[in-house]
Amino acid sequence: MAVSLVHEALMYAVYFAPRGKKRLLNLGHQLAQRHLSPLDKLIGFIGDAGAGKSLLIKGMFPGLELTNDDEGVNVRPLPLLKNIDKGFFYSHTYHLDIRFESAFTQMYELVDAVKKAIDQDKRVIIEHFDLIYPFLGLNAEILIGIGEEVIVTRPNIFGPLPQDIANVVFKSIKYRKMAHTAEDLTCKVLEQEFGFKHPQVHSDVKHGFVLEFPHEPDIDIAEIERRVKEYIDNEVDICYLDDNHIRIGDGEQYHCTGPRIHVRNAGEIENFRLIKEYKYDPISKVYALVGLVGDERAADINDLNKLTI
- The DSSP call for residue 156 is B
What pLDDT does 49 receive? 86
What pLDDT does 108 receive? 94
Measured distance CA(31)–CA(187) in Å, rounded: 29
Q: Give the model's confidence band at 165: pLDDT under 50 very low, under 70 low, under 90 confident, else very high.
A: very high
What pLDDT does 309 receive? 40
* CB 37, CB 140: distance < 8 Å: no
What pLDDT does 297 receive? 60
Strand bridging mode 279-281 / 42-46: unpaired
What pLDDT does 205 receive? 86
Homologous superfamily (CATH) of 174-303 is: Threonyl-trna Synthetase; Chain A, domain 2 (3.30.980.10)
* 125 has a pLDDT exceeding 50: yes
Measured distance CA(161)–CA(241) in Å, rounded: 36
Please state which of the ranges 37-41, 157-161, 196-200, 242-246 shows the lowest mean pLDDT: 196-200
What pLDDT does 98 receive? 94
- Amino acid letter, residue 300: D
What pLDDT does 88 receive? 79
CATH 3.30.980.10 placement within the chain: 174-303
- The DSSP call for residue 82 is H
Q: Give the model's confidence band at 263: pLDDT under 50 very low, under 70 low, under 90 confident, else very high.
A: very high
Mean pLDDT of 259-275: 95
Mutual orientation of helices 21-35 and 53-60 as an angle, nearest 10°?
A: 50
Q: Give the model's confidence band at 72: pLDDT under 50 very low, under 70 low, under 90 confident, else very high.
A: very low
Please state which of the ranges 57-61, 83-87, 151-155, 209-213 shows the lowest mean pLDDT: 83-87
* 175 has a pLDDT exceeding 80: yes
What pLDDT does 87 receive? 72
Q: Give the model's confidence band at 3: pLDDT under 50 very low, under 70 low, under 90 confident, else very high.
A: very low
CATH 3.40.50 placement within the chain: 2-160
3 state SS of 93: strand
* 299 has a pLDDT exceeding 60: no
- The DSSP call for residue 279 is E
- Amino acid letter, residue 120: Q
CA 268 to chain centroid? 19
Higher pLDDT, 112 or 50: 112
Which residue(s) pair with 145 in the sheet?
Answer: 46, 151
Q: Give the model's confidence band at 69: pLDDT under 50 very low, under 70 low, under 90 confident, else very high.
A: low
Q: Give the model's confidence band at 143: pLDDT under 50 very low, under 70 low, under 90 confident, else very high.
A: very high
What pLDDT does 10 receive? 79
Strand bridging mode 149-153 / 201-205: unpaired
Mutual orientation of helices 221-233 and 162-194 as an angle, nearest 10°?
A: 110
Over the stretch 149-163, which tens digit does the pLDDT of each residue have?
A: 999 999 988 889 999
- What is the number of H-type helices and E-type strands within the chain? 9, 14
* CB 17, CB 52: distance < 8 Å: yes
Class in CATH terms, 2-160: alpha beta
Measured distance CA(208)–CA(270) in Å, rounded: 11
